[in-house]
Structures are given as C-alpha cells and as structure tokens.
Structure 1
Amino acid sequence: MRTCFFIHHLPFFCREIKFLQMMKNENNVFGKVTHDNLPQAVEHLIKMMEEQAQNSKNNMSVEDDEISIEEVSSLIKKSVSTIYRYTCQNSIPHSKQGNTLHFYRSEILEWMKMHKKKCINELSDEAHIESFRVLNRD
C-alpha cells in the first residue's frame, strides 16, 4: 500500500528533490541555516521567490497572447490548409467568432505537448512503473 502511495506521488517528490538540490546548489550562500543566519536565509528565499514569480509572469504574458493562423503554421510546422483542416476536425484548440479563428499560444503549446511521441526511455519508465504497480497490488 505504501509503495502505491509513493508511485502515485512520484512526480511531486521529484519536483521537491529538484527544488532542494537547486536550493543547495544556489550560490550556497548559507551552507547550513542556523539560528544566527535565519533572517538572511529567509530574505534570500523571498528574493528568489519574487524573481521566480516575475519570470513566470513574463513567460505567461508571452505564451497567452493570441496568434494568427500563420504563426500557428510556423509554430507546429504544418501548412495553413492543414491548420484549417484541423479546425474543421476540432483536433486543434481554437475558438471561432463569426468567420474569424482565434488561436492562443499557450493552448497550442499544450496541445503540442499532449501529442508528443514518447521516447524509448519514457516508455520504458512507464512500463517499469506499471509492472511495479501490478506486482505490488494488495
């Protein structure tokens, strides 16, 4: 039962481990946080969080803009006529008001990620995790 919990929450733990490694390697200003340097460590963390928030705001403003069908075409490396066919088949995210098609960069990028073919390592990892789940069923 515990192994299933761990596997289910594996992505969360991986993010936490990466964050802790980043914090450990990030300039390593403090080494070990003690009572004496706690205020400076907290101030450093707040500064890092503000920088990350600013970076994510900048990335969001770039990704959430509306793009033309020509930009979609160059982004996904397909012809404009193929994009029109995808919209008729409702296989690409878009909205339509009257005769005007609207595309958003963030939606197109997410759609591209969903349709990405997995490499052999990703398939192997998924098979390994699934076989582990089957073997550890209660």
Structure 2
Amino acid sequence: MENLTFDQLPQAMRLLHDKMDRLELLLTELRAPQETDAVLNVKQAAAFLHLSVSSLYVKVCHREVPFNKRGKRLYFYKTELDEWVRKGRRKTVSELQEEAGQHLLIGKGKA
C-alpha cells in the first residue's frame, strides 16, 4: 500500500467509493432470487407457440405438448415448451448427407 498525501485523499476516497458501489451491486445480484420458470396459461402458451388456442387444445388432447393440469385449468412451463420446440428440429440436407457418409464409413470399417 502506498502512502497518500493529503491532496490525494479526495481522489482515493472517490476510487474507494466507486469500488464499494461495484461490490454492493455484485452482492445484490448474488442475493437476488434466481429467475423462476414462467408458468403460462392456455392463451399465453398458444401465443408463445404461435398457435391458436384450439390448436393447442388439440395438441394437449393428443398429449403432443407438455402440460400440467390443476382442476379444470391447464398450465404450461415456458422452458418445457421451449425444449419441446427445440426437439422438433429437423436436420438439414448437408447434416443428413454427412451422417450417411459416416454410416457408410463405419460399415466399411474405416471409421
């Protein structure tokens, strides 16, 4: 630690104050409750999935989409819907060709 002169004290105090503000902000962020998974009702879930409410009901009836039921009400977790959408990803032509090439190599014993 270096020795400060009387003239350097205001600047040193300002720096110390700025560092304390940053530390306080970091501690506040750490103490903040973690964001919980959003629970959506039927209308919100339909809007999130870009579906009509009736189309969403059909998917629920066929158990194609993850849902929760309490009494007569349906609820959806946003993360579960997001994961459901991601699982429906289709491979591109180039991905399919690469996969087919890998299978051919394995079949010939070159992989």
Q: Which residue of 2 aligns with 1:75?
A: 48
Output the CA distance in 2 between the equivalents of 1:71 and 1:85: 16
Seq. identity, %: 25
Residues 55-110 of structure 1 deviation map (CA, whole Å, 9 limit, x = unaligned) = xxx9x836x21112222212222111000011011010001111011100111011
RMSD: 2.5
Q: Tell me whether 1:131 sits opposite 2:104 in the alignment.
A: yes
CA distance in 2, matches of 1:127, 1:70: 42
Whole-angstrom distance in 2 between the partners of 1:86 and 1:96 = 14
State the one-letter code of the partner of 1:126. E
Residue segments in structure 1 that go unaligned for 5+ positions in a row: 1-53
TM-score (norm 1): 0.49
Matches for 1:1-138 after TM superposition, within 5 Å: 61=35, 64-136=37-109
Q: Which runs of 5+ in 2 are unaligned?
A: 1-28
**Relative contact order (alpha carbons < 8 A, sep ≥ 6): 1 or 2 greater?**
1
Q: Find the aligned partners of 1:133 and 1:119 in 2 and give their Cα distance.
A: 21
- Name whichever structure is richer in helix by fraction: 1
For the residue of structure 2 that corresponds to 1:112, the secondary structure is helix
Equivalents in 2 of 1:130, 1:70: separation in Å?
44
TM-score (norm 2): 0.59
**Runs of 4+ that moved beyond 4 A:** none
Structure 2 Cα separation of the partners of residues 112 and 101 of structure 1: 19
Q: Distance in 1 between matches of 2:47 and 2:93?
A: 27
